[in-house]
C-alpha cells in the first residue's frame, strides 16, 4: 500500500535534487516557500477530488465553482458589507450545497458523474459571468476582511498558512479515509458497489458524501484563491483547475476505476505537479512547454505504475498458485471420504444447463 507513495516521494526528491543541482535557486528559501504556498492552494481541493475519484466518479466542476463562489464571496464582503465570518460560512455552505446537488443527481437520479459535473462546469461558469456581467470583482481599498485575508494568505513563522491548512485538512481527511468506517466504505463502494450494497452499506449516501466533501473543500479553496489573487475575473478564475486536481490524484495513485488512492499520495501528487511547474521556470525551459512537461510526467508515471502493478500481480498469482496447489491432495484427510467421492461426480462447473 505504501509502496506507491514511497515511489512518488523518491521521484519528487530526485527531481528536486537534480533541479537544485542545476540551479540552486530552486532550493532557496523564497522559492521553497512560494512552492509551499502553491501546493497548499492546489492541494486542498485535490483532496476532495481524490475522494470522488476513489468512488469511481469524477468532479469536473471545481474550477467553475471557484469562479461562482468567488464572485459571490467578494460581493458579500464589498457590496453587501456582510461580516466576514458570515461570508465565509455562506461560501462554505455554497460549496457543500453544490456538491450535494451533484451527489444527488449522480446517486439518486443515476446520472453519470462525468456528465453531471461537466454540466456543473458550464453552468457555474455561466452563472458567475452573468452575475457580474463579465466584469472582474475585486476588493476596494477598504479593509473589508483584513482579518480573514491575514488568515488565508498570511504565514506562521514564514510557512504559508495555505500550506498549514493543507496539512491540517490532509490529516483530518487521512483519518477519515484510512481510519474511519466511512473511509472503509468508500473504498468498498469504489471497488465493488454491488458487494457493498449486499453488505448493507448505503452506497448512495457514501458516494454523495464524497461529492459534498469535494464541494466543501472547493469552498475553502475559493476563499484561499480569492485572497491569493485579490480579485476574481469570472471568465478565467480557476479555469482548468479541476484538471490539476485530477492530475494530482492520478499521479498520487488514485485509479479512475475507483477504489484506489491515498491522502498522502494526493498530497505528494500535488507537490510533484507544482515542482514541475516551478522547474520549468527555474531551468529556463520555455514557459509554453509547461503543460507538455506535466502531461509527459503523468503519462510516464501512470504507465510505470501500471507495469509495476501488473508484475506484482503476476508474482502474487504465482505465489497463490503455489500455495493452493498442494492443498487439494493431502490436506483433506479429515473430511469424510464418502462425501468426497459423492460430490466429485458433479462439482459445480458453474454451468447452468
Stretch that binds other proteins, among 110-118, 136-144, 153-161, 199-207 (CB under 8 A): 199-207
Among 157, 284, 327, 330, binds other proteins (CB under 8 A): 327
What is the Cβ-side half-sphere exposure of residue 252, based on CA atoms within 13 angstroms? 27
Nearer to other proteins, 25 or 175 (CB): 175
In the numeric block, which cell numbers belong to residue 166?
493543507
Among 180, 231, 236, 296, binds other proteins (CB under 8 A): 180
Which residues partner with 184 through β-bridges? Answer: none
In the numeric block, which cell numbers belong to residue 347?
462439482
Stretch that binds other proteins, among 176-184, 235-243, 280-288, 289-297 (CB under 8 A): 176-184
Interaction of residue 344 with other proteins, rule CB under 8 A: yes
Interaction of residue 347 with other proteins, rule CB under 8 A: yes
Interaction of residue 311 with other proteins, rule CB under 8 A: no
Nearer to other proteins, 156 or 181 (CB): 181
Among 109, 157, 181, 322, binds other proteins (CB under 8 A): 181
In the numeric block, which cell numbers belong to residue 143?
479593509
String of DSSP letters for 192-238: -HHHHHHTT--HHHHHHHHHHHHHHHHHHHHHHHHHHHSEE-TTTTT
Among 20, 104, 197, 239, binds other proteins (CB under 8 A): 197
Alpha-carbon separation of residue 39 from 47, 54, 83, 89 (angstroms) = 12, 21, 29, 24
Stretch that binds other proteins, among 87-95, 98-106, 280-288, 314-322 (CB under 8 A): 314-322
Among 133, 156, 286, 351, binds other proteins (CB under 8 A): 351
Among 30, 143, 324, 330, binds other proteins (CB under 8 A): 324
Which residues partner with 138 through β-bridges? Answer: 231
Among 194, 284, 322, 330, binds other proteins (CB under 8 A): 194
- Measured torsion, CA atoms of residues 83, 85, 90, 96, in degrees rounded to the nearest 10: 170
Alpha-carbon separation of residue 198 from 108, 189, 194, 209 (angstroms) = 18, 11, 6, 19
Interaction of residue 14 with other proteins, rule CB under 8 A: no
- Kindly state the helix (H) or strand (E) to which residue 155 belongs, with its residue range: strand 155-156
Nearer to other proteins, 288 or 339 (CB): 339
Interaction of residue 110 with other proteins, rule CB under 8 A: no
Nearest to 34 by CA among 298, 277, 292, 289: 277
Q: Shortest gap between Cβ of 5 and other proteins (angstroms)?
A: 18
Which residues partner with 160 through β-bridges? Answer: 155
Contact, 170 vs 268, CB < 8 A?
no
Interaction of residue 322 with other proteins, rule CB under 8 A: no
Interaction of residue 290 with other proteins, rule CB under 8 A: no
Burial class (CB in 10 A: 0-12, 13-18, 19+), 46: buried
Q: What is the pattern of x (binds other proteins, CB under 8 A) and - over residues 240-279?
A: -------------------x--------------------
- Cα(132)–Cα(56) distance, integer angstroms: 35
Q: Shortest gap between Cβ of 34 and other proteins (angstroms)?
A: 37
Q: Which residues bind other proteins (CB under 8 A)?
A: 175, 179-182, 184-185, 187-188, 191-192, 194-202, 259, 316-317, 320, 323-324, 327-328, 331-332, 335-336, 338-353
Amino acid at each position: 500500500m505504501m509502496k506507491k507513495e514511497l515511489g512518488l516521494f523518491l521521484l519528487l526528491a530526485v527531481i528536486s535534487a537534480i533541479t537544485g543541482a542545476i540551479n540552486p535557486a530552486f532550493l532557496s528559501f523564497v522559492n521553497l516557500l512560494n512552492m509551499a504556498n502553491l501546493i497548499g492552494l492546489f492541494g486542498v481541493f485535490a483532496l476532495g477530488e481524490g475522494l470522488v475519484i476513489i468512488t469511481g466518479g469524477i468532479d469536473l466542476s471545481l474550477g467553475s465553482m471557484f469562479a461562482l463562489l468567488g464572485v459571490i464571496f467578494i460581493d458579500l464582503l464589498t457590496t453587501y458589507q456582510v461580516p466576514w465570518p458570515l461570508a465565509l460560512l455562506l461560501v462554505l455552505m455554497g460549496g457543500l450545497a453544490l456538491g450535494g446537488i451533484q451527489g444527488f443527481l449522480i446517486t439518486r437520479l443515476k446520472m453519470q458523474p462525468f456528465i453531471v459535473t461537466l454540466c456543473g462546469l458550464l453552468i457555474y461558469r455561466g452563472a458567475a459571468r452573468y452575475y457580474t456581467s463579465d466584469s472582474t470583482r475585486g476588493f476596494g481599498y477598504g479593509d473589508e476582511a483584513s482579518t480573514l485575508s491575514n488568515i488565508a494568505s498570511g504565514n506562521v513563522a514564514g510557512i504559508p498558512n495555505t500550506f498549514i491548512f493543507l496539512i491540517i485538512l490532509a490529516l483530518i481527511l487521512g483519518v477519515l479515509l484510512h481510519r474511519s468506517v466511512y473511509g472503509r466504505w468508500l473504498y468498498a463502494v469504489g471497488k465493488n458497489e454491488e458487494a457493498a450494497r449486499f453488505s448493507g452499506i448505503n452506497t448512495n449516501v457514501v458516494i454523495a458524501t464524497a461529492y459534498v466533501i469535494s464541494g466543501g473543500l472547493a469552498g475553502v479553496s475559493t476563499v484561499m484563491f480569492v485572497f491569493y489573487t485579490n480579485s476574481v475575473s469570472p471568465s478565467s478564475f480557476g479555469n482548468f483547475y479541476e484538471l490539476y486536481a485530477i492530475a494530482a490524484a492520478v499521479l498520487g495513485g488514485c485509479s479512475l476505476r475507483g477504489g484506489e488512492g491515498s491522502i498522502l499520495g494526493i498530497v505528494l501528487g500535488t507537490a510533484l505537479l507544482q515542482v514541475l511547474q516551478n522547474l520549468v521556470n527555474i531551468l529556463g525551459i520555455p514557459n509554453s512547454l509547461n503543460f507538455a512537461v506535466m502531461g509527459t510526467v503523468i503519462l510516464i508515471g501512470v504507465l510505470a505504475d501500471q507495469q509495476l502493478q501488473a508484475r506484482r500481480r503476476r508474482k502474487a498469482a504465482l505465489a497463490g498458485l503455489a500455495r493452493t496447489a498442494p492443498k487439494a491432495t493431502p490436506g483433506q484427510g479429515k473430511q469424510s471420504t464418502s462425501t468426497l467421492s459423492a460430490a466429485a461426480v458433479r462439482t459445480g462447473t458453474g454451468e447452468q444447463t
